[in-house]
Amino acid sequence: MTPLGHDRYCDEIDKQVRQLRAVVTSGADLTVTVPTCPDWSLEQLVRHMGGALRWVDHIVRSRAQDEVPDDEVPHSQGPEEQGDPAAL
């Protein structure tokens, strides 16, 4: 199988993040469990994804050569407000 190109991966990440954002901002219940990871609420999943995206952004922008701990990533845990779709 031929690997996809870099731009294709970036496009897919963008698409998936937009879809998740649309669900969250459409008024979805943030306390509902996620079918593919039933131990997590929708809010926990969004916070996890947001943290992962901020972590990668930090690594790329800083050109980090070593592992970057979460506490070095600005806003790695997301907004302090709980249950606020707009803040997420």
> By the 8 A CB rule, do 85 and 30 touch?
yes
> By the 8 A CB rule, do 42 and 34 touch?
yes
Sorted by where each begins, the domain ranges of the chain are 47-78
pLDDT value of position 71: 86
pTM of the model: 0.81
Q: Which residues neighbour 42 within 8 Å (Cβ) at sequence distance 6 or greater?
A: 23, 24, 28, 29, 30, 31, 32, 33, 34
Choice among 29-33, 39-43, 62-66, 77-81 with the minimum mean pLDDT = 77-81
- Mean pLDDT over 60-80 rounds to 87
How far is Cα 34 from Cα 66, in angstroms, rounded to an integer?
33
pLDDT of 14 higher than 90: yes
pLDDT value of position 7: 93
- Mean pLDDT over 11-28 rounds to 93
